Amino acid sequence: MPASDALIAAARAARERAVADFSGFKVGAALETTDGHIITGCNIENASYGLTVCAERVAIFKAISDGHRAFRRMVVVADTPAPTPPCGACRQIMWEFCGDIEVVMANLQMVTAMLQMTDLLPLPFDKRLL
């Protein structure tokens, strides 16, 4: 089942709440649970950059802190013509907490790509290796 218009709209709305005073690169994310809840996140920057948190991780951590544990897909929105995939740190967190979910990348007008997590992180490090 493809990402709903509501999920994409939620990610676009979350992007508007981003705090990107340094880079100007606003990102929004919307995470859909298996029971249909939508949890959003936006990137939050600070002057040290290293403490910046990406939209994808904000959405996942919010979802987990609210008691959600099973996820269907995530939409990531940036104002770019090409797909903007999650960074490496986000891919690791997405894999560990969400598994092989669908990741939809979109811009302000359209969906630009749809991939599974196994396509984005083909050889993940996880508890199987510990």
The reply to whether 32 belongs to the active site is: no
Q: How far is CA 34 from CA 31, 48, 74, in A?
A: 10, 36, 11
pLDDT of 2 reads 66
Catalytic residue among 16, 32, 45, 56: 56
Model pLDDT, residue 4 = 87
Listed as ranges, residues in the chain with pLDDT below 70 are 1-2
Per cent of the chain over pLDDT 90 is 95
Structural class in CATH, domain 5-120 = alpha beta
Global pTM value: 0.95
What CA–CA distance (Å, rounded) separates 67 from 88? 25
